[in-house]
Structure 1
Amino acid sequence: MTITVLQKKPGEFWWGGVINEGHLMPFGDRPHSRDLRMTDDNQASPLLLSNLGRYIWCEEPFAFSFNESNLTIDHKQKLIIEEGHETLQDAYRHACNIHFPPSGVTPDKLAFTAPQYCTWVEMFYEPTQEKLLNYATSIIRHGMPPGVLIIDDNWMQDYGTWDFDKHRFPDPAGMIHSLHELGFKVMLWVCPYVSPDSIIFRQLRDHGILMKHADGAPVLRRWWNGYSAVVDYTSTEGSTWFKQQLDRLIEDYGVDGFKLDAGEPLLPDLMDDITQDVAWSRPVHPLEDCESYARLGIGYPLSELRMCWKLGGQALIQRQRDKTHTWEAATGLQGLIPNSITQGLMGYAYNCPDMVGGGMDGDINSPDFRFDSELFIRFVQCSALFPAMQFSMAPWRVLNGDELAWCMDVIQIRTELGSLLSELASQAAEDGLPILRSLEFVFPHQGFHSVQDQFMVGESILVAPVLNKGQVTRKIQFPSGRWLGDDESVVEGPSEVEVSAPLSRLPWYRKI
């Protein structure tokens, strides 16, 4: 290993590494350390970017730490240190063009012009054809626009047996045709795991498609649904087999895309009771298995990932890791903006917060379920102008009266600005620029580096949601220019203004 030490410049701050640490960024004003070689935490990239125009890139993961005066990098492969780009945006543009150039392709534009609707919270492990069609018609009946409908876990016969369970989905092709006629696109949840007592397990084992230990025994990995074998998607045979399953679902049923869940790298200290390392079919670089899994989504009109290593610039929707039904920054609402800012800076322009309100560990139908309607509405407001937004808990199931109306008002804002989001998605495919941007990215060297509770949509829309319980006013940092508010007010910047932000309002402003 090689140790490289950079002296921090006065007023210099840094972003990058692991997306889920966005709430701790920018780095530089307090001690912080991270080893990217051992990460299994949402998207990550071997990139650090400075507001003074410097960036650091390495083709393999590295460890880094900040103290009062220095940035220390512990790396194995060659470290690229670029200087002289003046601003955060300049550094990003250069890093993007060299290391993760945009693909020229966007996901299906419906992902930007309308919300996504996931079945998880409404149905958990019990989706059925009847429930799906009722859910879709309820979305429209309650005045919400049709969008991408994600059929989550347990639609299939078994893990690794990627075909519809015919008892719960007697006519999947007819169901998807009906959903298309209603205006929806359909994604299916998939994962890289294979149930070890299934017929497909024995077939894949015999064909050498599963990950193995050195003694030839298949790896059985513990995950949130038990223990499963794992498709070796780092091998040509494994990735080819997996994509054949996806392609068949498209051809047979008209599916539009896939939610590729899991995909965490297999790291020695994260393999639970597995005592042997994986014997890969070829030499694999650190975290390359995570990258290989994410690559399986490339080429489909709709692919959503929770885990990714590198691959900035690709037409992949990158969802933040599961959020809790809380206000806090580490796992809840307050982490959405800083994490999304970091996603954009790592080249993941088509980013999505978690399901509105969080993944809801409890059962919505249980009498013990505890729901915070204020949090849910603020979650809707915060998510509404992200590149993609996703519902899972149906708003009409938990809100009524004014609260439901306020939620619908925010969805209308997204509908009105959908064409802008779509245009910015097309721009990102050509120049790699984020859709959701920090104020520092758009207005450099004006003291906005620490602003983590506001964001820009492109160059002209400033969004400042409320992120604290009980708060009905908030201070907004306005950059130079004239800003027309959603409430018809006009603000002259640069200035800091306290604005009214009752639960009925998402404060947003257009530069005029």
Structure 2
Amino acid sequence: MKFTDGFWHARRGVAIHYAREVDRLTAADGALHAIAPTKVVRHRGDTLNLPVVTTSVSAPAENVVRVRHTHHKGAGDHFRFPVNTGDDVGEAVVAGDEGTVTSGALSAHLSVGKTWSLEFRAEGRTLTRSGGKSAAWVDVSPGAAVDHGSPQLERDGRTSYMFDQLDLGVGELVYGLGERFGPVVKNGQSVDIWNEDGGTSSEQAYKNVPFYLTNAGYGVFVDDPGHVSYEVGSEAVERVQFSVPGETLDYYVIYGPDPKSILERYTALTGRPARVPAWSYGLWLSTSFTTDYDEQTVSSFIDGMAEREIPLSLFHFDCFWMREFTWCDFEWDPRVFPDPEGMLARLHDRGLRVCVWINPYIAQQSPLFDEGMAAGYLVRNRDGSVWQWDRWQAGMALVDFTNPDATAWYQDKLRRLVRQGVDAFKTDFGERIPTDVQYFDGSDPERMHNYYTHLYNQAVHEVLASERGADDAVLFARSATAGGQQFPVHWGGDNTASYVSMAESLRGGLSLAYSGFGYWSHDIGGFEMTPDAGVFKRWTAFGLFSSHSRMHGSGSYRVPWMFGEDESDPTGAVAVTRKFARLKNRLAPYLVATGEEAHRRGTPMMRPMLLEFPEDLTVAHLDRQYMLGGDLLVAPVFSAEGQVDLYLPAGEWAGLLTGERITGGRWVREQHDFDSLPVYLRPGAVVPLARHEDRPDADHLDGLTLLVHPDPDPDWSRTVQVAGTDGSAVSFTVRRRGDVVEAESDQQDGWSLQVAGGDVAPAAEGRTEVRA
């Protein structure tokens, strides 16, 4: 949201009251407390008729500083995100006119009697600063020349905002702010944190997260679940501005120094991703959305995949498993699924899991509408009537998840489905949340607009965790905000069947990774329209090198034999799907270990290149390639012709599919047929490969192969862990001794060692070696 007209002036109807100086500074309760007049005070008379900004600076966690600006504290403070902080972590000291808060390597500095300057330092350098004309209270008059950031937020009356601006250094780049589908570097963009159902080809986003990080070693989290507006080097090109409506702005500065460490500390505050089960890494197949389907159709798809030796992990039933006009009533449509319990049992007997589509909306034709209305479980208008509209479903209402009884009521409907045999839920929607309503617990409806989806996904995840076990709970969620990473998996929403949309989907996933989300997926082949065979095959290869993989569409099926190609063609859709689905199952032990990093440290599975190579200046803008875990570089092919330009950081890399060795530190142009894409092992990679190609949750230690691309350092060594079927971890140590690579484990037999592109050597008595 822009408040200024160039550098010198405010916009029409806008009065900006900047913190000009610090009048007094105290230390108490581990925090600095400052009073900042909004003009320079030269004598006592200047203190009259003068707004002030009061600021507190504290350190709630190691290498984290919290800043809180307030204008009128009597306005009350609305709820904020649940944040995990410690007690008395940092130290606040005032010495003369200087105040400092220190936590770990990070410190914040304020001075009395000087121009306003809140400076953040670490390890002898300034990270960023809130300087002159940065922190402010803004008074916006009716009809002012400002865009409030969303059609729902156009305001008729006088409005107040708080904002701050943090300096950007030369060459400093900004990332994150949720799943955004434009350029992954956010400099020059205006971003509104406001969940919308806008598809993947607009500035709107399903997953808005008020957190960003920069390549200068720090991140910033604005602790406000409502509308947060960012001007990222746009309104003030030297700064990032973030503003919120109301009288208080609360934010955290998080020191890294590297991007992984920033995400580790950010997710320690807002929550780490839950574990997901090994079976979830396999291929998911859907009915698609508006297609005709019944149990016979479903069986024909599953039979077709099995006949073509394409492994499936899960089958997904989209919206029309329920009757039209009744979404959601959580009842199988008896016209097409007359025996749901039997059908689910038959699918389980084939080794498949089952996912069904749901949303948090209750249509008026659903029997649950009257039940929920009578019990007070639905979100209400301000006059006490039930809020409804006719978009999506006729007369639909919203479950009020701020009401514990309503949440339990909704969860009980899902428990019945789990006990029928449903294994996972696709938690669709959650973005179309009105602001002119009232909630059971009195929550501010503007802040609930984004936060609603958090309560929704949390409620559903709790059902699966309690019914199936914490490590066997998995969603397929579309909307989210800060903290939503705790309830995986999330997918990218409604894309289209084109190469351009495939690329924008990846940008969204990388942006979400920069925002603390550990797992991410997308609709293989595109949701809208029907892909041609080339788009489908290229997207299939990309999708099966994503953390999670689902084939799904809108008005057409996404089974590979429907693209009119010769099924014996090794570059046809059937063969391509078979090849990469089987390869992904072999990669399952590697993916499980990478998922464990997401769970324990908050490091995403699909990683922007900057996370692994923060010192390489070339990777800063890359958004057409990524690291899948720490060891595999993936560059999807975004054209039918198959030409790919990719960047390999320094060192010798090895092709996963080809075994070819190639020297990095440069750009490479490659040509790939439909059954290939660039996938490289980095120097020092150790990738455990399962023997089983038919499923991702088989015993990974049974016939395990350690695929190694050794580092050239003659003293290189590395230890990796592979999870057993009982959840215990078995360690393998790999080392280089001149021209020989050795591997050993004192816990496991029956495994092999392979150097990329070389021979396989089986272990004997827990050890083996091959030539490098």
TM-score if structure 2 supplies the norm length? 0.60
Matching residue within 289, 310, 334 for 1:144: 310
**Equivalent residue, structure 1, for 2:539:** 379
**Equivalent residue, structure 2, for 1:484:** 654
Q: Alpha carbons of 1:346 and 1:221: their partners in 2 closer, same or farther (altered >3 Å)? A: farther
Aligned residues of 1:192 and 1:230 also touching (Cα < 8 A): yes
The answer to which structure has the higher strand fraction is: 2
**Equivalent residue, structure 1, for 2:550:** 390
Q: Secondary structure at the match of 2:190?
A: strand
Aligned residues of 2:532 and 2:563 also touching (Cα < 8 A): no
Equivalences for 1:20-169 in 2 at 5 Å? 21-28=180-187, 31-37=188-194, 39=196, 41-60=205-224, 61=226, 62-66=228-232, 67=234, 68-75=237-244, 76=246, 77-82=248-253, 84-97=255-268, 99-102=269-272, 105-112=274-281, 114-120=282-288, 124=290, 126-157=292-323, 158-169=326-337
User: Aligned partners of 1:400 and 1:424: how far apart in 2?
Assistant: 36
Please say which structure displays the higher CA radius of gyration.
2
Superposed CA RMSD? 2.0
Q: Secondary structure at the match of 1:82?
A: strand
Deviates more, 1:84-93 or 1:420-429: 84-93
Aligned residues of 1:410 and 1:506 also touching (Cα < 8 A): no
Aligned residues of 2:359 and 2:429 also touching (Cα < 8 A): yes
Q: Alpha carbons of 1:281 and 1:228: their partners in 2 closer, same or farther (altered >3 Å)? A: same
Aligned residues of 1:17 and 1:48 also touching (Cα < 8 A): yes
User: Aligned partners of 1:11 and 1:242: how far apart in 2?
Assistant: 49
User: Aligned partners of 2:277 and 2:210: how far apart in 1?
Assistant: 28
Equivalent residue letter for 1:349: G
Percent of residue pairs identical:
20
Deviations 1:160-186 (A, max 9, x none): 321212232121111111111111100
**Equivalent residue, structure 2, for 1:416:** 586
Matching residue within 673, 676, 692 for 1:505: 676
Aligned residues of 1:235 and 1:282 also touching (Cα < 8 A): yes
Deviates more, 1:486-495 or 1:317-326: 486-495
Equivalent residue letter for 2:362: V
User: Aligned partners of 2:335 and 2:399: how far apart in 1?
Assistant: 26
Aligned residues of 2:191 and 2:230 also touching (Cα < 8 A): yes
Deviates more, 1:169-178 or 1:306-315: 306-315
Matching residue within 174, 197, 206 for 2:374: 206
Matching residue within 606, 616, 631 for 1:436: 606
Aligned residues of 2:208 and 2:480 also touching (Cα < 8 A): yes
Q: CA deviation at 1:220?
A: 1.2
Aligned residues of 1:457 and 1:463 also touching (Cα < 8 A): yes
Q: Alpha carbons of 1:48 and 1:398: their partners in 2 closer, same or farther (altered >3 Å)? A: same
User: Aligned partners of 2:254 and 2:317: how far apart in 1?
Assistant: 46
Q: Secondary structure at the match of 1:429?
A: helix
**Quick check: 1:322 aligned with 2:490?**
no
Deviations 1:203-226 (A, max 9, x none): 211111111112222111343344
Equivalent residue letter for 1:235: N
Deviations 1:376-431 (A, max 9, x none): 11111221111001113101112522312233222233222122112211221122
Aligned residues of 2:254 and 2:266 also touching (Cα < 8 A): no
**Equivalent residue, structure 1, for 2:457:** 294
Equivalences for 1:227-306 in 2 at 5 Å? 227-251=395-419, 253-268=420-435, 277-285=436-444, 286=447, 287-299=450-462, 300=464, 301-306=473-478
Q: Pick 1 or 2: higher relative contact order, CA cutoff 8 A, min separation 6.
A: 1
Q: CA deviation at 1:47?
A: 0.5
The answer to which structure has the higher helix fraction is: 1
Equivalent residue letter for 2:563: V
Q: Alpha carbons of 1:94 and 1:222: their partners in 2 closer, same or farther (altered >3 Å)? A: same
Q: Secondary structure at the match of 2:166?
A: strand
Equivalent residue letter for 1:101: G
Equivalent residue letter for 2:520: N
User: Aligned partners of 1:505 and 1:261: how far apart in 2?
Assistant: 32
**Equivalent residue, structure 2, for 1:217:** 385
Q: Secondary structure at the match of 1:64?
A: strand
Q: CA deviation at 1:134?
A: 2.4
Q: Secondary structure at the match of 2:262?
A: helix
Aligned residues of 1:477 and 1:497 also touching (Cα < 8 A): yes
Matching residue within 357, 362, 365 for 1:197: 365
**Equivalent residue, structure 1, for 2:342:** 174
Q: CA deviation at 1:84?
A: 4.4
How many residue pairs end up in the alignment? 482
Q: CA deviation at 1:442?
A: 0.4
Equivalent residue letter for 1:256: D
Matching residue within 450, 463, 474 for 2:644: 474
Q: CA deviation at 1:312?
A: 4.1
Q: Secondary structure at the match of 2:615?
A: coil
Q: Alpha carbons of 1:464 and 1:207: their partners in 2 closer, same or farther (altered >3 Å)? A: same
User: Aligned partners of 2:603 and 2:583: how far apart in 1?
Assistant: 23
User: Aligned partners of 1:182 and 1:83: how far apart in 2?
Assistant: 48
Return 5+ residue gaps in structure 2 as ranges.
Answer: 1-160, 198-204, 465-472, 553-557, 683-708, 710-772
Deviations 1:443-479 (A, max 9, x none): 0031201111111011110011111x34332222111
Equivalent residue letter for 2:280: A
**Equivalent residue, structure 1, for 2:62:** none
Q: CA deviation at 1:38?
A: 6.1
Q: Alpha carbons of 1:191 and 1:199: their partners in 2 closer, same or farther (altered >3 Å)? A: same
**Equivalent residue, structure 2, for 1:185:** 353
Deviates more, 1:149-158 or 1:225-234: 225-234
User: Aligned partners of 1:264 and 1:83: how far apart in 2?
Assistant: 28
Q: CA deviation at 1:267?
A: 3.6
Q: CA deviation at 1:117?
A: 0.9
Q: CA deviation at 1:495?
A: 1.9
Aligned residues of 2:513 and 2:608 also touching (Cα < 8 A): no
